[in-house]
Structure 1
Amino acid sequence: MMDRYSRQILFPSIGEGGQQKLAKKHVLIIGIGTLGTQSSEMLTRAGIGKLTIVDRDYIEWSNLQRQQLYIEEDAKNRTPKAVAAKERLQAINSEVEIEARIIDVTPVELEELVEGVDLILDATDNFDIRMMMNDISQKHQIPWIYGSCVGSYGMSFTIVPKETPCLHCLMETVPVGGPTCDTAGIIHPAASQVVVHQTTEALKILTDNYDALRKKLISFDVWTNQIVQMNVSSMKKVDCASCGEKATYPFLQFDEQTKTAVLCGRSSVQVRPPNVQQRNLKQLAQQLEKTGGKVEANAFLLSFTIGDERMVVFEDGRALVHGTNDVEKAKTLYHRYLS
């Protein structure tokens, strides 16, 4: 039904040839929250051949403000995000093949997920997974598009293996201790702006219009009306462990992953970051107080309680999530408030 895509085909940079290419492409979207719901809908409406959508979480009331595929019934039923998203996306375009996976992504899952994929879209909420995505992208030579947002601020960068710097080149080490949506809030327009940049770049790649790619890191604040495009090409490192000449893909190794352990007899899970950190507990307390939860701290640790959930954070970055033996729930809470 090419009439369905007639307005897109009229756009000369896509045309009938580009539309036919698009219909044969497979995109993996990791995270079906604020960014993932919007980008998956745009690509579904555009006529992508296949979408694999991955998320470990379920829908909560606070998601409805900005995660546009979901409705109140989903929050009432705590429907898994991937399940609800697939249902809505298939209703939008039944021609698109949608594969939904309710899993926590680790390097093991990534190796399976990237098989036959032409592009990876970042719609996650933590750098732990992003650095894994970056390494799997470099290992299998699959382009991916980074995107993040918090408050009214957003950022995006398109990473093409062998051509652009990778995320490891830009970040050096995984950033910690910054604000999250749960500590600093977020407005829907900021997320939408990130998605606009991500999906436009995605359409360029999927229709083989590589020459039109931005090739710059873009950041913006939709509230203060600021926008910056930064040329980061000089930051590509020949000795980068993720994309350099002797790449070892460190973030696919166990030592670079977040560790968890169920504490025997305590109904608690310890979550430990890949590397020992030095967290500023005073600064973290100020961020967490904005959530409306209860924060108590001493010179050695911080206790944070919100609703029925409580965690204790130590200076070395470890956290004890109390009241559960569910490792996946503990990791979700850890990344929600501390990532």
Structure 2
Amino acid sequence: MTERYSRQVFYRHIGEEGQRKICNSHVAIIGLGAVGSVVANHLARAGVGRITLFDPDYVRTIDLQHNLLFSKEDVQKGRLKVVAAKQSLNMINSTIRIKGNESKLSIETLLHETDDVSILVVGNTNPEVISVCNEFCFLKNIPLVFGGIIDGKGRQMSIFPGETPCLNCVLQKYKWIDLKQNDFLTSDLIGSYQAMDVIKFLVEKNAVIRKQILTMDPLNNIHEEMLIHELQERCAVCASKQG
């Protein structure tokens, strides 16, 4: 292991073997908004060997308030988020492989670009995107780590096919609404929790990954965990993993 990752190697929960697993892993990140950019930043610095980024949008001035990876120059030059993010992440860590895809998200695109991915990170609250990601993870039997600002609060959860309800039925049950409100500090916290769950999974510490919904509202000092007990019997995606 290089000096670059020495602090992680010395960390007893990772060690040399854990760092080797991180460096040999492939993680996909859906959405490069405030939350997704935080996850990408942490995973690149941690040494995740391959990161595939998905986002069809261009960098806008509004992104500069809450996004760690973009600059005024990205806006002026009309760069796609995946292009700007790749450039920024390569400057952070040039030893890893980063690929960007600006295509409209679909099962076919995910299968083509991330067939060997270990875990999927979702930082997008669009229902259509969530549905595609949810279906893909249950199809490939891999974890999905979700995070976003919903109802003005940070929400984070990790979905394990066959162990937890899927993301679709969780969001349908609680009827959360994306109010397009975002303070970048909450996004930083949620993205950091997502990145930590990814690292836990990559170093095979699944037992300590939270199986509850985390809600954070730093302004009002709220930090809550909500248990999810039952699979949703009427959910076709969940039903495919039952029994």
TM range (shorter): over 0.9
SS at match of 1:235: coil
**Are residue 241 (structure 1) and residue 236 (structure 2) matched?**
yes
Higher Cα Rg: structure 1 or 2? Answer: 1
Question: SS at the partner of 2:190?
Answer: helix
Deviation of 1:100 after TM superposition, in Å, equals 0.9
- CA distance change for structure 1 residues 7 and 77 in 2, over 3 Å: closer, same or farther? same
Decide whether the 8 Å contact of 1:59 with 1:79 is kept in 2.
Answer: yes
**Is 2:33 the partner of 1:38?**
no
Correspondence for 1:190: 186
- Report SS of the residue matched to 2:43: helix
Paired amino acid for 2:188: S
Structure 1 pair 75/150, CA: closer, same or farther in 2 (3 Å)?
farther
Q: Any gaps of 5 or more consecutive residues in structure 2?
A: none
Kept after mapping to 1: 8 A contact 2:52/2:100: yes
Higher helix share: 2
Same amino acid, percent of matched pairs: 29
Structure 2 partner of 1:147: 147
8 Å Cα contact 1:37/1:69 also seen in 2: yes
Q: How does 1:52-201 map to 2 (within 5 A)?
A: 52-150=52-150, 153-172=153-172, 175=175, 178-181=177-180, 185-201=181-197
Aligned to 1:332: none
The residue aligned with 1:226 is 222
2:223, 2:4 → 1: CA distance?
A: 34
1:135 shift after superposition: 1.1
Q: After TM superposition, give the deviation of residue 222 of structure 1 in Å.
A: 1.1
Q: Pick 1 or 2: higher relative contact order, CA cutoff 8 A, min separation 6.
A: 2
**Do the aligned residues in 2 keep the contact of 1:51 with 1:99 (CA within 8 Å)?**
yes
Question: Residue 13 and residue 151 in structure 1: after superposition, are their counterparts in 2 closer, same or farther (change >3 A)?
Answer: same
SS in 2 for 1:243: helix
Secondary structure at the residue paired with 2:219? coil
Letter of the 2:195 counterpart: T
Contact 2:54–2:101, Cα closer than 8 Å, also in 1? yes
**TM-score, structure 2 as length reference:** 0.93
Once residues 170 and 147 of structure 2 are traced to their aligned partners in structure 1, the CA distance between those partners, rounded to angstroms, is 14
Partner residue in 2 for 1:203: 199
Contact kept, 8 Å, 1:151 with 1:190, in 2: the verdict is no
Shift of 1:238: 4.7
The structural deviation recorded for 1:114 is: 3.0
What TM-score do you get using the length of structure 1 for normalisation?
A: 0.68
CA 1:10–1:246: 2 relative to 1, 3 Å: closer
Three-state SS of the structure 1 residue aligned to 2:186 is helix
CA distance in 2, matches of 1:39, 1:165: 23
CA distance in 2, matches of 1:175, 1:108: 28
CA contact (8 A) 2:52 2:114 kept: no
**How big is the shift at 1:211?**
1.0
Contact 2:149 2:178 in 1 (8 A): no
Counting only pairs closer than 5 Å after superposition, residues 14-33 of structure 1 correspond to structure 2 as 14-33=14-33
Q: Aligned-pair RMSD on alpha carbons? A: 1.9
Aligned partner letter, 1:163: E
Give me the whole-angstrom Cα distance separating, in 2, the residues matched to 1:120 and 1:246.
18
SS of residue matched to 2:103: coil
Runs of 4+ in 1 over 6 A off after TM superposition: none
Instruction: Give the letter aligned to residue 87 of structure 1.
Output: Q
Spell out, residue by residue over 1:198-221, the C-alpha distance to the aligned partner (whole angstroms, 9 max, x if none): 111111001111111111111111
- Answer yes or no: is the 8 Å Cα contact 2:156–2:193 preserved in 1: yes
Structure 1 unpaired stretches of 5+: 248-339
Cα distance in 1 for residues equivalent to 2:76 and 2:94:
26
Q: Distance in 2 between matches of 1:173 and 1:12?
A: 39
* Range 44-53 or range 117-126, more displaced: 117-126
